[in-house]
């Protein structure tokens, strides 16, 4: 089991490639479609995902795709399972398995992610449907007197139980403890909370006998809060993120794929590139697992029109290429200008 998990995890962080997060819930994809005045029907959701998965850049820059329960069961217009389109592009199909963040009892303003009940059986089914990795997202909010150790530990414990069940099912777990950008906190406060959350996470993963070589970490970057008056620059974000990760993440982890977490397309790419181009001695691969930062441009270009598919695919190919370059430290702002 360990060898197969490790080889899948290594494939997920292949050089110059990253993960497409296409696991929006029905509610979230509706909001995205509302922004382009497109009805969120099953057919439209299928058509949109299909155009992404059929883009040529998938083979060059995408190592894996996180799917939602509906999507992993869907077939393309010609009857081909969407999972098979992903495999044909050389990428690994994955599945979101958590049931969302809910209010944490006794902890006002804090949340814990649910979804452990019945997870063993669901993972077995998803493996049969082609999933070879899974994702579980914890949400940690910075505010007055929060996060509490209680909240951080509750989420780390759930992530560890999920990860152990994934490995039992021969599925690589992506563990995602997201410290949210929302709020007026400083970049140093984000550093402090992120370090605490990661150290708690790895303590719990150790207790639950999770094999780190068969896991992937999906963390936030260390950034200033969205309402902070002083915003950390690209180089500061890169230096503090790498320093934080080195303090907390064991070298046995094959790779770290960042979430974009509300950053602009440009910022998410620039920050990732600065980490890989900064001359840091990194024990793990640093890449991306972006949703909106990969999809905002193609979604707008598509706008629900079949005739716009080539333009949408070109927009997706560009963002995938930019982030693929950033994953090797080879991106520059000039490349963005060339596309414009």
Report the catalytic residues: 176, 218
Residue 78 is classified by DSSP as: T
Question: What is the distance between the alpha carbons of residues 35 and 220, in angstroms, rounded to a whole number?
Answer: 25
> Inter-axis angle of helices 234-248 and 187-207, to 10 degrees?
30
293, HSE (Cβ side, Cα atoms, 13 Å): 26
Q: Which of 202, 204, 284, 183 is nearest to 241 (CA)?
A: 284
**What H or E segment, with its residue span, contains residue 108?**
none
205 and 177 in contact (C-beta within 8 Å)?
Answer: no
Question: What is the distance between the alpha carbons of residues 127 and 123, in angstroms, rounded to a whole number?
Answer: 6
> Cα separations (Å) of 83 from 12, 58, 64, 73, 171?
16, 13, 11, 8, 15
* 245 phi-psi bin (left φ>0, alpha ψ -120 to 50, beta other): alpha
Q: Which of 233, 282, 289 is nearest to 260 (CA)?
A: 289
DSSP-derived 3-state class of residue 147: coil
Strands (DSSP E) contained in 28-90 are 62-67
295 and 308 in contact (C-beta within 8 Å)?
Answer: no
Written as six digits, the tokens of 311 are 């333009």
Count of beta carbons in the 10 Å neighbourhood of residue 247 = 12
Structure-derived torsion over alpha carbons of residues 228, 230, 233, 235, reported in degrees to the nearest 10:
-100
């Amino acid at each position: 089991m360990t060898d197969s998990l490790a080889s899948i995890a290594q494939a997920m962080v292949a050089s110059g490639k990253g993960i497409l997060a296409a696991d929006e819930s029905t509610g979230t994809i509706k909001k995205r479609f509302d922004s382009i005045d497109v009805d969120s029907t099953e057919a439209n959701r299928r058509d949109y995902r299909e155009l992404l998965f059929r883009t040529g850049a998938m083979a060059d820059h995408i190592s894996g795709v996180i799917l939602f329960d509906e999507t992993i069961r869907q077939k393309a217009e010609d009857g081909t399972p969407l999972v098979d389109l992903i495999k044909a592009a050389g990428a690994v199909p994955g599945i979101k398995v958590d049931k969302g963040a809910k209010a944490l009892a006794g902890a006002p303003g804090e949340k814990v992610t649910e979804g452990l009940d019945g997870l063993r059986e669901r993972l077995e089914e998803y493996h049969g449907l082609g999933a070879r990795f899974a994702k579980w997202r914890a949400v940690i909010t910075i505010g007055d007197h929060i996060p509490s150790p209680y909240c951080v530990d509750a989420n780390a414990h759930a992530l560890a139980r999920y990860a152990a069940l994934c490995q039992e099912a021969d599925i690589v777990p992506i563990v995602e403890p997201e410290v949210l950008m929302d709020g007026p906190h400083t970049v140093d406060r984000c550093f402090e909370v992120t370090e605490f959350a990661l150290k708690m996470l790895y303590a719990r993963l150790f207790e639950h006998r999770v094999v780190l070589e068969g896991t992937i970490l999906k963390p936030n970057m260390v950034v200033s809060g969205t309402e902070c008056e002083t915003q950390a620059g690209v180089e500061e974000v890169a230096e503090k993120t790498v320093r934080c990760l080195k303090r907390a993440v064991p070298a046995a982890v094959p790779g770290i794929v960042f979430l974009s977490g509300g950053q602009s397309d440009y910022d998410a790419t620039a920050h990732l590139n600065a980490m890989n181009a900064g001359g840091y001695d990194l024990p793990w691969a640093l890449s991306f697992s972006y949703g909106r930062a990969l999809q905002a441009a193609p979604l707008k270009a598509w706008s629900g029109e079949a005739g716009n598919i080539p333009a949408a695919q070109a927009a997706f190919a560009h963002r995938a290429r930019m982030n693929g370059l950033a994953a090797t430290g080879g991106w520059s702002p000039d490349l963005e200008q060339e596309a414009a």
